[in-house]
Amino acid sequence: MHSRRSFFKNSAALSLGAFGTSSLFNQIHAADFQKAQSYWKNDQTDNEAYWSVIQDAYSASKSDIIILNNGGVSPSPISVQVALEKYNIEAAQGPSYYMWRVQDTGREPLRARLANLAGCDFEEIAINRNATEALNTIIYGLPLQVGDEVIGTLQDYPNMIQAYKQRQLREGIVYKQISFEFPIEDDEQIVNAFRNAITPRTKLIHITHIVNWVGQILPAAKIAKMAHEKGIEVIVDGAHSFGLLDYKIPDLDCDYFGTSLHKFLSALVGSGMMWIKKEKISKIWPLICNSEPNGANIRKFESLGTRSFCIEQAIGEAINFHESIGSARKQERIHFLKKYWAEKALQIPRVKIHTSLNPTFSCAIAGVSIEGITPADLEQKLLKDYKIHTVAIVWENISCVRVTPHVYTKLEDLDKLVDALKAIAAG
């Protein structure tokens, strides 16, 4: 790898360079990626030479522990880590100048690139710190009257459930949660469950695009179409889908969308994004003060106070990295990695997989359990005896260990997971 010092020499010149020819991605990874690209064949099983270049671009691939909880939060590639170091060094020379006056001018180019990635107008994108901030801003900011109903599910993310419950407690909205037994391989069953919960007072449907507990993909566009026919708005929690599934936000046909960028996009921890359909921006109250709370400028959601612009600017390098692989190829690979271990695990006596292996209904995540062993014990055994980091999930009707690979995950590490499951299941 190049010497880090050389990256800092031109730090001022590079401060807006994430999208230029001098981007850190170009300096650190581009030549290797180009070479790897020449090895690419359209048969997945034959492309390990290509993927080894991607693996090497992440320091996490050399961790002592096999990291298989990328659904919780993902590591960043080396170029993104170096970007943070570079921006921090630059800002430390005087944040009131370098951070507020120099790095801040990178926000609009970044907004444009995020909009390009999301397939929408850049006036619809606000940059913030995570999915919780994006979605809570919309949930709390949406004008709702006493008795107005919101439909969500018991399997949504707790930070969103709690926001609706607080509005119920404080303002008298009605929050209804339907429940699903995953896996489900029938979109209509899911759409109908939402449809059946609708009443004349329903104003909003909340959809978790990929259910974090077991990785079920919900048919967001189909639910949204049904809801819109009844004049109901739709908010999508895209925390697990953005940067993983190959889609553009308008494909979902929703009204509001929030995501973290520190999951599958591999930006730094503390990177998030909100999208609101242009004509709806003015009616959403900002969560944090703004001089024009009823204005139509999406930037009213970015009055977040003093925070790290370094983390924000490094999102640019994460986008470069992501785009160098391409959304479709990334989705296909990560699904392949999931299937690779889960199909083998299914052959082990006493092992159950809690997630569909059909790419329409899931991608990166699969839940696994072993009869007679609690999720907490299985997670502990995997970590202590095999140095494999996963996460135990016990939530509502779901009980399993969640396994989530990422593009940098090695097949040999998934083989170790399968061997560990075999040994544990054999007692």
Ligand X SMILES: Cc1ncc(COP(=O)(O)O)c(C=O)c1O
- Shortest distance, CB of residue 279 to ligand X, whole angstroms? 25
Query: Contact region for ligand X (CB under 6 A) — 127-135, 165-173, 285-293, 412-420?
Result: 127-135
- Shortest distance, CB of residue 214 to ligand X, whole angstroms? 11
Q: Is 150 helix (H, G, I), strand (E, B) or coil?
A: strand
**Spatial CB neighbours of 301, under 8 Å, sequence gap ≥ 6:** 126, 128, 137, 274, 284, 286, 287, 288, 290
Q: Does 131 bind ligand X (CB under 6 A)?
A: yes
Positions in 138-157 near ligand X (CB under 6 A): 157
> Could you give the strand order of the β-sheet that contains 233-237, starting from the edge strand earlier in sequence?
125-128, 272-276, 256-260, 233-237, 202-208, 149-153, 174-178
- Shortest distance, CB of residue 164 to ligand X, whole angstroms? 13
Q: Does 240 bind ligand X (CB under 6 A)?
A: yes
Give the containing element (helix H, strand E) for 272.
strand 272-276
- Shortest distance, CB of residue 241 to ligand X, whole angstroms? 9
- Shortest distance, CB of residue 182 to ligand X, whole angstroms? 14
- Shortest distance, CB of residue 234 to ligand X, whole angstroms? 16
- Shortest distance, CB of residue 131 to ligand X, whole angstroms? 4
* b/e sequence 233-264, b meaning 16+ C-beta within 10 Å: bbbbbbbbbbbbbebebbebbbbbbbbbbbbb
Query: Contact region for ligand X (CB under 6 A) — 178-186, 222-230, 237-245, 339-347?
Result: 237-245
- Look up residue 244 and give its amino acid: L
- Look up residue 408 and give its amino acid: Y
Burial class (CB in 10 A: 0-12, 13-18, 19+), 426: exposed
Query: Contact region for ligand X (CB under 6 A) — 16-24, 41-49, 234-242, 415-423?
Result: 234-242
Q: Does 362 bind ligand X (CB under 6 A)?
A: no
Q: What angle do CA 373, 377, 379 make, to 5 degrees?
A: 115
d(CA 339, CA 358): 9
Q: Does 159 bind ligand X (CB under 6 A)?
A: yes
Query: Contact region for ligand X (CB under 6 A) — 75-83, 108-116, 129-137, 228-236?
Result: 129-137
Give the start-end residues of each E strand in 38-147. 66-67, 125-128
Which one of residues 69, 208, 356, 369 is an interface residue with ligand X (CB under 6 A)?
A: 208
Taking the least distance from each CB to ligand X, the nearer of 72 and 109 is 72
Taking the least distance from each CB to ligand X, the nearer of 132 and 409 is 132
Taking the least distance from each CB to ligand X, the nearer of 237 and 317 is 237
Distances (CA, A) of 264 to 72, 124, 255, 321, 406: 10, 21, 22, 11, 7
- The number of residues that bind ligand X (CB under 6 A) is 12
Report helix angle 309-325 to 107-118, nearest 10: 40
Positions in 248-277 near ligand X (CB under 6 A): 260
Which one of residues 132, 216, 356, 362 is an interface residue with ligand X (CB under 6 A)?
A: 132
Q: Give the count of beta carbons closer than 10 Å to the beta carbon of residue 408.
A: 24
Residues at the contact surface with ligand X, assessed by CB under 6 A: 72, 130-132, 157, 159, 208, 212, 237, 239-240, 260
